[in-house]
Structures are given as C-alpha cells and as structure tokens.
A and B are shown apart, each in its own frame.
Chain A
Amino acid sequence: AQSVAQPEDQVNVAEGNPLTVKCTYSVSGNPYLFWYVQYPNRGLQFLLKYITGDNLVKGSYGFEAEFNKSQTSFHLKKPSALVSDSALYFCAVRDSGNTGKLIFGQGTTLQVKP
C-alpha cells in the first residue's frame, strides 16, 4: 500500500534562511508526488508535483522539491524563507490505481520567525 511519512511535526527557521520540509514515501511502481500548503483557517493549496522528468521540481511561491528515488524522498525546499511561509505543509502520493486518490502525510507546521 502507498504511504507517506513526514518525520517532523514542526520546523522552525529564521526569515531569510533556507528551509527544508522532509517527506519520504512508499509506493509500488512509479510515484506521483505532491506538496500542498494550508494557511490558517484556509483550504489546501497545491504547490508542486513530481510525475516524471527532472528530479528538481519548481512550484508556486518560490518553493521547489527534490525527488530522490534511492532514498524514496521528496523534500520541500526554499532558498530564503519568509514569515508569510508559516503554514501547515502536506506531502502526498497518488494511489496506485488511477482513481484520483491521494494519500497524505501527517503534515508539518513551518514556523518562520522574523
């Protein structure tokens, strides 16, 4: 069965510093991987996805993610964090059948301090 793990409940980083939010996955077959963000009291917004191709995927708001097949990881990164990046981040993997189902990780709260 597909699964996703986000090993950190919370990540703290100072504004201007690089940030990384970690995600590891377990799938059968080729992975379809996603990152979503949820700002306080809001719905979820799509950031980026990896289907195939370049291991470094660029997305919205300056975020990027690095796909590493050997380590089964898909870490979210940003070179310079902003206070406004503070939010809850979810990693997800598409279920193996073509059903539109995504399996989500537990979420990681990113706190960026001025």
Chain B
Amino acid sequence: NAGVTQTPKFQVLKTGQSMTLQCAQDMNHEYMSWYRQDPGMGLRLIHYSVGAGITDQGEVPNGYNVSRSTTEDFPLRLLSAAPSQTSVYFCASSYSGGQGTSGANVLTFGAGSRLTVL
C-alpha cells in the first residue's frame, strides 16, 4: 500500500513551458485534490474531484487543468508555466465514510512536488 504517490519530486521549467504533475493513490479513495503551498499563504486548493469523471475548481485554479479518468489517478497540468506558479504542490486523497469511521474525511498527502518556473 503506497498511499499517495506524486511525481516528479522536483522540476524546473522555463516560462511558457507545459508539464504534468502526476498523482496516484491506491486506497480506493473517492476524493482527490491538489493544493499549492507558498510561504505565509498556507495551503490553497487548486482543483478537486469527488470521483472519476468529476472535477471542480478550488480557490486558485487559473493556469491549471485537471482530469480524473480513473479513481486512482488525478494529474495536474500546467498549460503555460509562469513564475507565479513556482511553488510546492501537494496531492491528497480521502474518503467520506460515516462519522464514526476513524479515517473518514482525513486527507492523506503525497510527499510533494517542488516546481520552479524561471
């Protein structure tokens, strides 16, 4: 059971380049989400998904695309990278369950992907 796996761990891009951050989970969680972490800003939600084929925007979606073709995978695409997208990106997953389920609603995070856009 690997949990949430993100690749790559580090990436340097030039302005205007595109790339995809990969995220996969093997826990059969229905919810998946992408956050970015910037100093002093906490974690801000980019996009999220409540199941295969269903995605929606979070707080800071501009410049990012997502898709969810399977329960396991939730890639984040940067279409035309900008220096403002320099950040650490975290993918997370969770499941709903009932209130008494100890793991319900608890996000499991990947190790993070550090992206630098020059």
Contact = CB atoms under 8 A, between A and B. Distances in A.
Interface residues of B, number: 30
Contacts of A6: 42
Contacts of B95: 100
Nearest to A4: B42
A99 B50 contact: yes
Contact of B94 (A100, A105, A106): A100
B96 A100 contact: yes
A103 B43 CA distance: 8
B45 A101 contact: yes
Interface in A10-59: 32, 34, 36, 42-46, 49, 51-52
B8 to A, nearest CB: 15
Contacts of A43: 90, 109-112
A44 B90 contact: yes
A49 B90 CA distance: 20
Contacts, number: 67
A102 B112 CA distance: 17
A106 B99 CA distance: 27
Nearest to B93: A100
Interface string B26-44: 0000111101000011111
A34 B108 CA distance: 12
Contact of B105 (A9, A36, A49): A49
B37 to A, nearest CB: 8
A104 B105 contact: no
Nearest to B32: A100
A32 B105 CA distance: 9
B106 interface: yes
Most chain B beta carbons < 10 A, residue from A92, A99, A106? A99
A7 B50 CA distance: 31
Given A90-B42, A100-B50, A106-B42, 15 more contacts: A32-B105, A44-B92, A49-B105, A94-B105, A99-B31, A99-B50, A99-B56, A100-B30, A100-B33, A100-B93, A100-B105, A101-B33, A102-B33, A104-B42, A106-B40
Interface of A: 6, 9, 32, 34, 36, 42-46, 49, 51-52, 90, 92, 94, 98-107
